[in-house]
Structures are given as structure tokens and as C-alpha cells.
Amino acid sequence: MLRIATRQSPLALWQAEHVAALLASAGIQTVLVPMVSSGDTDMRPIDGTRQVGLFTKRIQQALLEDEGDIAVHSLKDLPTEVNELLTLAAVPVRETVTDCLVSKSGVKFSDLPNGAKIGTGSRRRAAQILSRRPDLNVEGIRGNVQTRLSKLDEGFDAIVLADAGLVRLEMADLPRYHFTFDEMLPAPGQGALGIEVRANDKQALEAAATMDDMATRAAVTAERTLLSSLHGGCLAPIAAYAVVDGDVLRMSAVALSPDGRKRIDETDEIEFANDLSAAVELANRISQRMVDAGAIEMVRG
């Protein structure tokens, strides 16, 4: 029986149970091993002074110390730095990638009144909001989905959340506006799960392989390769979205200054034939143009 290491938040437990169900459909038995990460207990706003991996290090440690066999991550939270003892063994089919503006009325982004107070724990989201609406008042918030939603009763006009989390928590009726990709690109890996195992664990590797979706893996590989090339951790104001459309892989990306006043947008595509090398090549092409335009210095503010 394989042990699935997971955080204890409602969304993390949903993700772990989803992976358990996928493995059960392949005839593989599992048991959940919940644990608390530093990201679950540290409620300070996320900013450039914080470390990456707040939500992932504890369950990676569980693999390394043989407390679990499979770690389930929200892929957007997983650092791009490689640990040779661990491997990203699978990326299941992706959920919706859009961000959404949650308010009591479901107001559109363009209809927010001047000076509206918007809550988000993401520098990427804050920078993109300010890039399009510098008149808005963006403030940092932390906590799980339920904690963030409570901010709507504490003086915030709206908060920004990933739609995937709301779908997974069956909050489909929550009033919200879905950002267009022109208004806000998602975080690299957003909406996708990352299944990590010990690199030498043959049983876990084989089990994880039953869940892997090549189109999703190619898309997130392109996004995460770009993020790594720009030397941006998961806290950086960098966004990217790649998608496989037939035999083409295309990606759009943006890097911003933290205050949203400067931005570099790029888009490109490449022929795709179920080969991750195309994803890496596409990311390298786009990221090199962004580096040449000064993206690395810009995102640092």
C-alpha cells in the first residue's frame, strides 16, 4: 500500500483524495498521511522576502524521511529547483487555469470602483491587477480558501483566487468574475497537480505513471522552464500559460515589475509531437527574448 503525503488544508486533502481515486482506478491501494506545512501556519503576507516552497517542503521531507511514498503538490507551489533524490513522476489532466475575482456581487474587473480594496497573496496577481488598474488598492492576504473568503466581511471589496480551487471545493455558485487572459495570465503550473516520488522508488514511479497526461505535462514543462530561466521562484511576478492544440504547443508569458508599471509580454508556438523537448525549446526561445528585454532585473523591482 502506497502512502500519500499531503497537507491538511481542505483543498490539499481534496487533491490527495483525487490522486488516491485515480490510483484506485488502476488497482493501486493507498492511504493518506496528512501533515502541516510552514505555509499553513505562517500567516504573514507572501512577498519578495519570503522563501519559496512554503507549502511543499514538509511533504518533500516526508518522502526523503520515508514517512510517505507519494507527495501531492499544487504544481504552481512546487519550486523549479531540482532535488536529485526526488522526481516529478506525473502530472494528471489539468483543471481550469483561470484566476477569478470573488466578491459578494460577482462584479467584473473593469467595473470595480476606483480605489476598491482587493485582496491577494500573490505578487503575480497584484502586479497584473495594478498593470491594468493602477487605481485599485491591492493588499496582501493569506490563509486557505475559506479564510480568504472571510476577508469579504472585513472591508475587502473583492479577493482573487484560482478558479481550480473553487471548482475542486464545489463552490461553483460563489459569485465571481473569471479574468480574461489579457487581464491576468495564470501562474506557471496553475490548475495542475504535481506528483512527486523518490527517484529510486520503482513501485511509486510505476504507480504515478498511470496518472500522467502528456499534453498537460508538456504545457507545464514549458511554463516552469520559462520561470526557471527567468530565475523567478513561485513568488515572482511572472505568469505563463501553455496549451497543446493538435500538433502545436503555444505559450503566452508576461513578466512585470512588482508595482505593475512595467511589463514584458511574449507569445510563441512550436510543433509538438508528444515530446517534452519541444516544450523546453519553446520556453527557452520566449525566455531569452524576455531576458534580453530586461525581465530578470524588472521582476526584482
Question: In whole angstroms, what separates CA 45 from the centre of its chain?
Answer: 17
Whether the CB-CB separation of 15 and 91 falls below 8 Å is answered with no
Active-site residue (options: 40, 69, 77, 201): 77
**Rounded to whole angstroms, how far apart are CA atoms 157 and 207?**
45
pTM value surpassing 0.85: yes
- CATH class of domain segment(s) 99-178: alpha beta
Q: Is 1-93+192-212's fold the same as 99-178's?
A: yes
C-alpha cell recorded at residue 168: 475542486
In this structure, which CATH number among 2.120.10.30, 3.30.160.40, 3.55.50.30, 3.30.465.10 belongs to the domain 214-301?
3.30.160.40
**Rounded to whole angstroms, how far apart are CA atoms 193 and 95?**
9
pLDDT in tens, the chain (301 residues): 999 999 988 889 999 999 999 999 999 999 999 997 544 444 444 344 344 456 788 899 999 999 999 999 999 989 888 899 999 999 999 999 999 999 999 999 999 999 999 999 899 999 999 999 999 999 999 888 889 999 999 999 999 999 998 998 899 889 999 999 999 999 999 999 999 999 999 999 999 999 999 999 999 999 999 999 998 776 789 999 999 999 999 999 999 999 999 999 999 999 999 889 999 999 999 999 999 999 999 998 7
Q: How far is CA 242 from CA 63, 112, 119, 162, 286, in A?
A: 29, 29, 26, 17, 12
* Known active-site residue 77: yes
